[in-house]
Chain A
Amino acid sequence: MTTTDTTQTYGTLETHLRSRRDAGQKLLLPYITGGFPAEEWTQLIDGSAHAGADALEIGLPFSDPVMDGPTIQESSTLALSQGATPQSILDQVAMAKPGIPLIAMTYYNICFRMGHRRFANALKTAGVSAAILPDLSLEEMAPWRESAASEKVETVMLAAPTSGDARLQKIVEAASGFVYGVGLVGITGERQELAESALTIAKRLKAITDKPVLIGVGVSNPQQAREVCEVADGVIVGSAVIRRLLDGGSVEKAIDFIGELRNGLDKG
């Protein structure tokens, strides 16, 4: 069953993603870690847009990222050790004009510590359209949602393979911007093959919502992105981007890879 609410006005991110999707485009959302690599990371914002990203997820590093595998953990630790803070990252984001919506990904304590309203306002001020808070469950999100809504910041919700049908329904109702389908039972990181569960969660979500459905966690290359987009509206790719920045990688290599992902999706 697809629910369409024609009276609703969508936020910046959702409006943008819906219009690109409805024009037949598969959506590409790379993830980068704010503050990594220290001197050059802001080049990734414009660079991702030029390489064909439809929106960009920017991590505000947290000391204890329980949803993240070793690759994103390492980039977070490096950013923090070089002095990155949520505010310093947002100040740099505010200067970028990539022409695509930006989404902040962080853990709830960063938001809670700053204060819900202040955090929402800080995102808006920096030109960030939406937030992803992976450890803020449906049950605990009410105070944040209220503050976010009052600052017109959208809240992307995670839907997991372990979520039952009733929970999925509530999650898609609560989500704005898009619905983030978790592709596998696990943490972020590259995988050799696309998990069955990525297609299953995409199908389950597409069956109950017309909000954009993007799949992330375990989507590692153009081939896997194309495969999952046979069902989903788009993909989120994080660890595979960050790996190209670690171990002697470069911003150029990461941007080239985002271009490969774009081409892969467009060929599909």
Chain B
Amino acid sequence: MTITNSSSVMGDPDTSGRFGQFGGRYVPETLMPACLELEQAFKNAWADPSFVKEFHELLNGYGGRPSPVTECHRLSEQLGVRILLKREDLNHTGSHKINNVMGQTLLAKRMGKTRIVAETGAGQHGVATATAAAFFGQECVVYMGEVDIERQKLNVFRMELLGAEVRPALSGSRTLKDAVNEAMRDWVSTVESTFYCLGSVMGPHPYPWMVREFHRVIGNEANAQCKELLGGDVPDVVVACVGGGSNAAGIFSGFADTDAELVGVEPAGGAAVGSGIPGVVHGSKSYLMQDEAGQVQEAHSVSAGLDYPGVGPEHAHLADIGRARYEAVNDTQVLEAFEMLARTEGIIPALEPAHGLAWIIAAAKELAGKTVLLNMSGRGDKDVAQVQAIKAGDPVALKTMRP
């Protein structure tokens, strides 16, 4: 097996910010100069050893990296598949999101921007951004869909505790896509003083590339950890859930140039790669759930973090060239996986990575005897109340389900 340090399959985008035909910069002219400035600032910072050093020191000393790889003995035995988990759930703030926000807020500081705006779905990116902004003493405003505010009340309170202002997105489906719209409108109005801390590998160039680079640490660590565990080998399959696709991009980047198969798992009600067609929203061209006229459709998932009708452009590209494949699971499968991991391994996963496990369970026959690495992108504390309500048959909670 050949492993290179600088992955060529997931290398830099071209000068127009494209991965194959996807990506680009589709934003109002007001924001274009800011996108160009950000691209330059990121390039300079990422080539500056002192920035990279400070970034990794923050991830280790503050974020709790490196995160371990855990072997799931009981679950493996039960499924006949050797399952390894990359434990991003053990990071500070409980998910992989901290990698990206420490990178972006450090870059904001370097650029002299003192105000941070962000969008959030489940609240994980919002909590992580509020955390980083508190750490650096930056002003922080987080946009969150009104529907998501309702189903993730605890995360709203967390953000407020951390000193952030949470503003509801009241338009459209009032979920993640609308929170992105509101964050972009804020950015259009405040671009001179504000840094937009985007939470996934989406948006205009350089975001899909920059966010993936800040998460590359997941894949790099996992690659080395698996080699140690597997006597120099990499896993047969690397699995991650995909909404916008940031945790998947991070872990895939460490294995894109190996023989490992890459599988992204989308919610059935928000399968942009699985059922979308090329379109342009929120600054880039990618697969998009849309109607015949080009109106963006609403995604539906039990997991607020995956409730997004688009997907990062690099995933669209990886699907096109056949380097990664994208599968879908429904909400019922997700809840079963959620409970199974809790009982067999003593790990309560977030509903997002429970999608990845749900696919492994469904594909257990195909995977028999193989070694599978799943990115455990976040912990399930935030979802416990929702799952409890669903199990109790609460009608409001059941509405979040698409069985």
Measuring CB to CB, which residues of chain A are less than 8 angstroms from any residue of chain B? 62-67, 69, 73, 77, 80, 85-87, 108-114, 134-140, 157-164, 167, 171, 182, 185-187
Contact = CB atoms under 8 A, between A and B. Distances in A.
A192 B190 CA distance: 18
B32 A139 contact: yes
Contact of B294 (A67, A73, A112, A167): A112
B177 A135 contact: no
Given A139-B16, A163-B33, 7 more contacts: A67-B188, A69-B185, A137-B32, A171-B29, A182-B28, A186-B30, A186-B188
> Which of under 10, 10 to 19, 20 to 34, or 35 or more describes the interface residues of B?
35 or more
B181 A64 contact: yes
A113 B172 contact: no
A170 B160 CA distance: 44
Interface of B: 16, 24-34, 171-172, 177-178, 181, 184-185, 188-192, 278-283, 285, 288, 290, 292-296
B31 to A, nearest CB: 8
Contact of A140 (B25, B290, B293): B25
A64 B25 contact: no
Given A64-B177, A77-B171, A109-B281, A138 B29 contact: yes
A187 B280 contact: no
A65 B282 CA distance: 10
A135 to B, nearest CB: 5
B188 A137 contact: no
8 contacts: A62-B294, A85-B293, A112-B280, A114-B293, A138-B32, A160-B28, A161-B30, A167-B32
A111 B16 CA distance: 20
Nearest to A70: B171
Contacts of A112: 278-280, 285, 294
Nearest to A113: B294
Nearest to B186: A187
B325 to A, nearest CB: 25
A40 B63 CA distance: 58
Contacts of B292: 113
A112 B287 CA distance: 13
Contacts of B33: 160, 162-164, 167
A85 B290 CA distance: 13
A163 B185 CA distance: 17
Q: Lowest 3 CB-CB distances: which A-B pairs, in order?
A: A113-B294, A186-B189, A160-B30
